[in-house]
Amino acid sequence: MGLFEGKKGLILGVANDRSIAWGIAKEIMDQGGECGFSHLPDKPDDDRKKNSRRVNKAIDGHPNAKFVEPLNVSDDDQIAAFMEKSKESFGTIDFLVHSIAFATMDDLSKDTIETSREGFKLAMDISAYSLIAVANAAKPMLNDGAAVLTMTYFGGERCVPGYNVMGICKAALDASVRYLAHDLGPRRIRVNAISAGPLKTLASAAVGAKNMLDLYSFVSPIGGRDLEQKDVAKAAAFLLSDMSTAITAEILHVDNGYNAMGSPGRLLDHVKADS
């Protein structure tokens, strides 16, 4: 019997079959859970329906994938409509995964000090406030003892050059996890975050994570291996399951231990060997 037999929930922010959100969803569904999905709405002039097509390709007829709907999390009416669809399909839910972030390439490519006011507001709205918005909208459906999970990054705790304005958004997201955990705690609803190391995804490509892969490989205590989608998915399944009923307001680092290092570690040996 799987960890999620008889459980139902929402996976918000699947981009394609390489995204972290999809890895989490697959782990849940393979362990018996049923999932409803959201994806970024397609542009009206996109005849190929690129976003919808990518998500449906990932799901590919999985019996525990119950519906796929577009969702713009900066629009409260769309959030309400998505939750109504979820209520029709599931009634109540046991988990909610929030894997959504956005900043314009123009703002991401600039030094943080040059971030535009409108770009900052947009990035913060979608990347941080959206967790509060969807958790509040889903609150009537969340069963007592349910779990909420979001995806963050080390750039919200420390300065990671190149992550820029998104690092500020992740810091706000991290704080939101703690405050939401307090608000939902009386119903034993847990709110946690996973801080994953760099993975090869569409989102990570936008913030230059490709250049971080070698760095993590040399510096991390568990060096010499790239982080895999499955690593994050298994950790997420733990936090969303009844295996973690006393864990809330936490940020779990799934990064081969990179966050614990106070020096470049074995990277120095590599540099010396090349010099």
Q: Tens of pLDDT along 152-166?
A: 999 999 999 999 999
SS3 state of residue 1: coil
Class of domain 8-274: alpha beta
The DSSP H or E segment spanning 9 is strand 8-12
pLDDT digits (tens, 9 = 90+) for 4-40: 999 999 999 999 999 999 999 999 999 999 999 999 9
Q: Is 179 a catalytic residue?
A: no
* Beta-sheet pairing, 34-39 with 65-70: parallel
pLDDT digits (tens, 9 = 90+) for 75-99: 999 999 999 999 999 999 999 999 9
Q: Considering the chain, what is the average pLDDT of its residues?
A: 92
Of 175, 156, 173, 174, residue with least CA distance to 112: 156
Axis crossing angle, helix 130-138 with helix 76-90, rounded to the nearest 10: 40
Phi-psi region of 205 (alpha: psi -120 to 50; beta: other; left: phi over 0): alpha
Structure tokens, 38? 């959201």
Where are the chain's structural domains? 8-274
**Cα-based distances in Å from 134 to 11, 32, 111, 179:** 11, 24, 30, 14
Select which of 153, 179, 216, 258 is catalytic.
153
* Beta-sheet pairing, 65-70 with 93-98: unpaired
218 — pLDDT class (breaks 50, 70, 90): confident
Please compute the mean of the pLDDT values over residues 165-171 and round it to a whole number.
98
The Cα–Cα gap between 142 and 184 comes to: 10
The Cα–Cα gap between 57 and 60 comes to: 5
Select which of 129, 163, 179, 216 is catalytic.
163
